[in-house]
Amino acid sequence: MSLADFAADIATGAVRVVDLTHTLDPDFPVIVLPPEFGQCARFRMEEISAYDHRGPAWKWHNITMSEHTGTHFDAPSHWVSGRDVPNGAVDEIPAQALIGPVCVIDCSAGAAADDDFELTPQIIAEWEAAHGPIPAGAWVLMRTDWSKRTGAEYLNMREDGPHSPGPTPAAVRALLARDIRGFGTECVGTDAGQGAHYTPPYPAHDLLHGAGKYGLQCLANLDQLPATGAVLITPPLKIRNGTGSPLRVLALVQT
Ligand code: 23J
Ligand code: MN
**Chain-centre distance for alpha carbon 53:** 41
Which of 68, 155, 206, 247 to mutate for ligand 1's pocket (most ligand atoms within 8 Å of CB)? 68
* Percentage of residues in the chain having pLDDT higher than 90: 100
Pairing of strands 15-19, 161-162: unpaired
**How far is Cα 206 from Cα 27, in angstroms, rounded to an integer?**
29
Tell me the whole-structure pTM to 2 decimals: 0.98
Give 71's DSSP letter: S
**Radius of gyration (C-alpha) of the chain in whole angstroms:** 19
Give 24's DSSP letter: P
pLDDT digits (tens, 9 = 90+) for 34-59: 999 999 999 999 999 999 999 999 99
**Chain-centre distance for alpha carbon 178:** 19
Active-site annotation holds for 78: yes
Which residues are placed with Cβ below 5 angstroms of ligand 2, an ion? Answer: 68, 74, 217, 244
pLDDT digits (tens, 9 = 90+) for 94-118: 999 999 999 999 999 999 999 999 9
- Cβ contacts of 180 within 8 Å, gap of 6 or more: 134, 136, 137, 138, 139, 140, 213
The letter for the amino acid at 23 is T
Task: State the distance from the centre of ligand 2 to the C-alpha of 23, rounded, in angstroms.
Answer: 16
For residue 32 and ligand 1, the question of a CB distance below 6 A is answered with: no
Task: State the distance from the centre of ligand 2 to the C-alpha of 189, rounded, in angstroms.
Answer: 6
Please identify every stretch of the chain with a pLDDT value under 50, giving residue numbers as ranges: none
In Å, how far are 7, 8, 9 from 3, measured between CA atoms?
6, 9, 10
